[in-house]
């Protein structure tokens, strides 16, 4: 959509980065500008950071640190800029080449005058107090999280991915704590009430990959293949621990052995280590030897549904794949951050394929990526996979559904275009060539181009450098009862004319069989010659194999019988198409599709498809049905869900439907049922509910009932795990029946401290702005928009997206739409990437204006 950025990205493709690097002299400005990064990359090498942190158990006490940076300089014509985003008062002393100099900090950089430096080897010694922003300090533990440019908030460094360095780390921590870092532990000595840990010199790492975690954790050590591995966690539920620890180690082992075999490169780092962090702000983060995971994604009990188990396997594979893709070979600049994410997802999918078989893989790929990709790509805020990035401080805004979901779809189409073996050979070459270094997407395309005759540069332009998706239409003509002509066309949903070369299949469905025909969609119109002469089908399934990308036609003749299709992949593909077409106001109206989908609840036997159907039902019900109509529909829908729950035989299918019931219920009768279930801890027959499920029920009751005021208090008393009790305590005011208390909670989010636990804030916001509470929360919208820039500046990478999604996710009225429009009109010079994020997250709101 943004033509300017497209042109610039294309131009950059043909200009050698090096030629710029040596001529542009960087100014001193906040953040890490691309110019500064290029200049430093060309001038600085052989960096070693020797770091010593003294960490008190009191989370508010200062962390005193010392650092020695050893580096080689090619020229000293310019002052050296070392990134440190802290006031100068935090620097206690600086020595450059053993000579004390005054500390000068300008626009987030320590400035070292050229006269103190010499070409060749230099050493800079700094004593300082760390910043806390990215140390995630809690009462009993802390963990670093520096991606993309937060290392500079903690210690002075060259905070850019292409100055890789070795780290020599010493940590002084309370003796009862456990610790993990990138390097192997080589020494520990008790000193008073602390223990001093020394770690082996790390492998070469970018600053964002450097990490440590320390605190009151349980430690488990096991071998993963022939590698020693350590796992730290704070979980206390014995069932979860018993059922989860072994599968977590096994999944790492499976992932490592697959990746070693597929890439032809042994595990590239000195050790395996990972930690489960309560309410971690991401799913996981791939620091070599010190990987972080969200605890709730790892620890599952016997109430876990299939999609939770698949998600866990996928998450563990994703972070493990990063050891090769991202950690060993790293993007040169964060504009290519999508490359590490696409490969991590792509390889995680391959591991799933190996472990679970290709049928499960194909289905999971469709379910896992298409909704996320379309969710952004259909909006006016859609971004291309590859975006321009002028300053690292804006890198957070690059993350989202396009990187995580569209990119794997694109990569799979690329693999199809090249052929699996040639694709793999190209990737192996790329990994080997750039091991422990950095590379760009253009470096990879150059290698892949040598493996194929296909025109990858043209292909790249539409799939990678431009946003958007195609809309497919068709024309079919019959002579008598036979097909005489069948053509499929594509055109862009928005923007300039272009075509997306891709393959997929269509299936002609007859009473007793199907005829599946491959389509190689290389142009604007493709004639399906294979169909000519075939009998007229009952209906047609477009994108029958689920690998095509775009808005496919729906065949209304198929709707009544789609739940009877034998192949779960075809059913999933039809559900996605139906929903996407409803949003585009083609073929289906919201209420009609809601009704159609609710029929499938009893008939859909594939658990992950059922989960998808209930997700769509929730989305249509809350976002695209007016409140008055919703009230009319509720009794019938509640009955249909309950009835389906009783008819379904598998415990997990029943559980998915129970959650759906909990989500949509509005009548007093259903409220009574839910309350009794929670109060007596007695779930419907065949369903098992865990402590987390009961917490979630208590939250639903608090949201939907004005009388059950003490439910959350009682639930708080029931929770035994301290971390989970704190979470509920945080959420309670957001669910208060007292509007003033909710107002005060919302106002408190203006303070950064209150937003520290991002996962909690996101959950609280989604309750605060739930459709049933919007009458009193709509007044928060403007202030929430005004906070977006600060949220981006102070929060972690996914927070702006999660913030906006939780707030705007289910508004539909014209007042809300007007607030957003006015805000955007009043801020014509607003950061374009954040503007895009607002447009992405308010797309449903805009659509609701015309659909309702
Ligand atoms: Zn990742």
Ligand 1 midpoint to CA 120 (Å): 36
CA of 146 to the centre of ligand 1 (A): 14
| Residues 197, 160: Cα–Cα separation, whole Å | 27
How much distance in Å is there from the Cα of 319 to the middle of ligand 1? Answer: 6
User: Which of 610, 520, 6, 758 is closest to 307 using CA atoms?
Assistant: 610
How many whole angstroms from 320 Cα to the centroid of ligand 1?
Answer: 9
> Residues 450-454: what's their mean pLDDT?
91
Neighbours of 808 (CB within 10 A): 24
State the distance from the centre of ligand 1 to the C-alpha of 325, rounded, in angstroms: 9
* pLDDT tens per residue across span 488-534: 999 999 999 999 999 999 999 999 999 999 999 999 999 999 999 99
- For residue 797, pLDDT over 90 is answered with no
Q: Rounded to the nearest 5 degrees, what angle is found at the Cα of 183, between the Cα atoms of 178 and 186?
A: 70
Output the CA 174–ligand 1 centroid distance in Å. Answer: 31
Going from the Cα of 315 to the center of ligand 1, the distance in angstroms, rounded, reads 9
Q: Could you tell me the distance, in angstroms and rounded to a whole number, from the CA of residue 255 to the centre of ligand 1? A: 15
Distance 275 CA to ligand 1 centre (A): 16
Q: How far is the CA of 173 from the centre of ligand 1 (A)?
A: 29
Q: How far is the CA of 524 from the centre of ligand 1 (A)?
A: 35
| Strand pairing report for 165-174 and 194-199 | antiparallel
Query: pTM for this structure?
Result: 0.90
C-alpha of residue 127 to centroid of ligand 1, in Å: 34
Of the candidates 746, 747, 749, the one whose C-alpha atom is nearest the C-alpha of residue 757 is 749
Question: How many angstroms separate the alpha carbon of residue 326 from the centre of ligand 1?
Answer: 8
pLDDT digits (tens, 9 = 90+) for 164-220: 999 999 999 999 999 999 999 999 999 999 999 999 999 999 999 999 999 999 999
* Predicted local distance difference test score (pLDDT) of residue 708: 62
Does residue 7 have a pLDDT over 70? no
| pLDDT of 11 higher than 70 | no
The percent of residues above 70 in pLDDT, for the chain, comes to: 97
Distance 588 CA to ligand 1 centre (A): 36
- The rounded Å distance from CA 329 to ligand 1 centre is 14
Q: Tell me what the pLDDT averaged over the chain comes to.
A: 94
pLDDT tens, position by position, 781-790: 999 999 999 9
Burial class (CB in 10 A: 0-12, 13-18, 19+), 156: buried
Least confident of 15-24, 313-322, 390-399, 680-689: 15-24
Closest CA to 397 of 707, 66, 840: 840
Could you tell me the distance, in angstroms and rounded to a whole number, from the CA of residue 344 to the centre of ligand 1? 6
- Check if the beta carbon of residue 694 is closer than 8 Å to that of residue 719: no
SS3 659: helix
Distance from Cα 283 to the centre of ligand 1, integer Å: 9
- Tell me, what's the pLDDT at 202? 98
Region 725-753: mean pLDDT is 96
* Mean pLDDT of the region 74-94: 96
Nearby residues of 707 by Cβ (< 8 Å), 6 or more positions away:
none
* Per-residue pLDDT tens digits for 324-353: 999 999 999 999 999 999 999 989 989 988
Separation of 217 CA from ligand 1 center, angstroms?
24
The rounded Å distance from CA 390 to ligand 1 centre is 22
């Amino acid at each position: 959509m943004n033509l300017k950025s497209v042109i610039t990205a294309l131009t950059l493709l043909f200009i050698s980065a090096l030629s710029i690097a040596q001529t542009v002299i960087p100014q001193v400005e906040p953040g890490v500008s691309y110019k500064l990064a290029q200049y430093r990359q060309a001038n600085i090498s052989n960096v070693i950071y020797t770091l010593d942190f003294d960490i008190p158990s009191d989370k508010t006490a200062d962390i005193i640190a010392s650092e020695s940076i050893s580096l080689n300089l090619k020229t000293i014509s310019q002052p050296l800029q070392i990134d440190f985003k802290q006031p100068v008062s935090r620097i206690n002393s600086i020595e450059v080449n053993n000579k004390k100099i005054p500390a000068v900090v300008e626009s987030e950089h320590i400035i070292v005058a050229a006269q103190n430096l010499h070409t060749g080897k230099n050493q800079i010694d700094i004593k300082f107090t760390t910043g806390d922003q990215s140390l995630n300090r809690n009462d009993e533990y802390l963990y670093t999280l520096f991606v993309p440019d937060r290392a500079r908030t903690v210690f002075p460094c060259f905070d850019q991915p292409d100055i890789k360095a070795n780290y020599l780390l010493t940590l002084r921590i309370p003796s009862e704590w456990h610790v993990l870092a990138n390097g192997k532990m080589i020494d520990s000595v008790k000193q008073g009430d602390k223990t001093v840990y020394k770690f082996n010199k790390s492998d070469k790492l970018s600053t964002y990959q450097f990490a440590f975690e320390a605190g009151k954790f349980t430690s488990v050590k096991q071998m993963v293949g022939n590698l020693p591995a350590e796992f730290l966690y704070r979980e206390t539920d014995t069932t979860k621990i018993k059922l989860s620890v072994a599968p977590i180690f096994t999944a790492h082992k499976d992932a490592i052995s697959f990746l070693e075999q597929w890439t032809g490169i042994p595990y590239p780092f000195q050790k395996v280590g990972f930690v489960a962090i309560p309410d971690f702000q991401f799913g996981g983060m791939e620091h070599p030897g010190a990987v972080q995971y969200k605890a709730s994604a790892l620890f599952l009990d016997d109430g876990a549904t299939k999609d939770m188990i698949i998600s866990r396997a996928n998450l563990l594979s994703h972070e493990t794949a990063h050891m090769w893709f991202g950690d060993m070979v790293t993007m040169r600049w964060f504009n290519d951050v999508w490359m590490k994410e696409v490969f991590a997802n792509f390889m995680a999918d391959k591991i799933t394929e190996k472990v679970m078989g290709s049928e499960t893989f194909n289905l999971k790929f469709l379910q896992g990526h298409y909704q996320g990709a379309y969710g952004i790509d259909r909006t006016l805020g859609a971004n291309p996979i590859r975006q321009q990035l002028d300053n690292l401080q804006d890198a957070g805004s690059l993350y989202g559904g396009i990187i995580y979901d569209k990119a794997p779809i694109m990569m799979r189409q690329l693999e199809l275009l090249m052929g699996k073996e040639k694709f793999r050979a190209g990737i192996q070459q790329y990994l080997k060539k750039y091991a422990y270094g950095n590379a760009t997407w253009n470096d990879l395309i150059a290698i892949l181009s040598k493996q194929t005759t296909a025109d990858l540069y043209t292909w790249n332009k539409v799939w990678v450098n431009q946003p958007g998706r195609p809309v497919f239409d068709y024309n079919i003509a019959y002579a008598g009862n036979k097909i005489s002509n069948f053509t499929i066309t594509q055109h862009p949903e928005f923007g300039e004319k272009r075509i997306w070369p891709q393959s997929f299949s269509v299936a002609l469905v007859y009473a007793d069989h199907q005829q599946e025909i491959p389509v190689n969609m290389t142009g604007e119109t493709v004639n399906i010659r294979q169909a000519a002469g075939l009998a007229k089908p009952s209906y047609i399934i477009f994108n029958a194999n689920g690998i095509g990308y775009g808005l496919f036609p729906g065949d209304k003749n198929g709707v009544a019988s789609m739940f009877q299709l034998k192949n779960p992949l075809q059913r999933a593909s039809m559900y996605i198409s139906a929903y996407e077409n409803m949003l585009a106001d083609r073929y289906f109206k919201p209420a009609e599709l809601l009704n159609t989908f609710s029929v499938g609840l009893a008939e859909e036997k594939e658990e992950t498809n059922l989960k998808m159907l209930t997700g769509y039902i929730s989305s249509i019900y809350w976002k695209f049905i007016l409140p008055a109509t919703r009230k009319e529909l509720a009794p019938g829908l509640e009955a249909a869900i309950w009835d389906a729950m009783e008819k379904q035989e598998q415990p997990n299918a029943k559980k998915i439907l129970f959650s759906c019931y909990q989500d949509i219920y509005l009548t007093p009768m259903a409220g009574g049922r839910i309350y009794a279930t929670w109060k007596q801890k007695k779930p419907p027959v065949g369903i098992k509910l865990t402590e987390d499920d009961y917490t979630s029920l208590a939250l639903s009751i608090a949201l939907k009932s004005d009388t059950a005021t003490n439910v959350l208090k009682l639930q708080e008393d029931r929770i035994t795990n301290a971390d989970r009790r704190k979470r509920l305590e945080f959420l309670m005011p957001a669910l208060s029946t007292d509007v003033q208390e909710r107002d005060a909670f919302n106002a408190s989010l203006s303070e950064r401290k209150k937003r520290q636990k991002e996962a909690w804030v996101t959950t609280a916001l989604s309750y605060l702005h739930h459709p049933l509470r919007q009458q009193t929360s709509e007044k928060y919208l403007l202030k929430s928009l005004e906070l977006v820039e600060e949220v981006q500046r102070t929060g972690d990478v996914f927070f702006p997206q999660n913030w906006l999604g939780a707030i705007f996710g289910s508004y539909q009225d014209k007042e809300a739409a007007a607030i957003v429009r006015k805000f955007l009109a009043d801020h014509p010079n607003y950061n374009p990437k954040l503007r895009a994020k607002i447009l992405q997250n308010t797309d449903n709101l805009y659509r609701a204006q015309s659909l309702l």
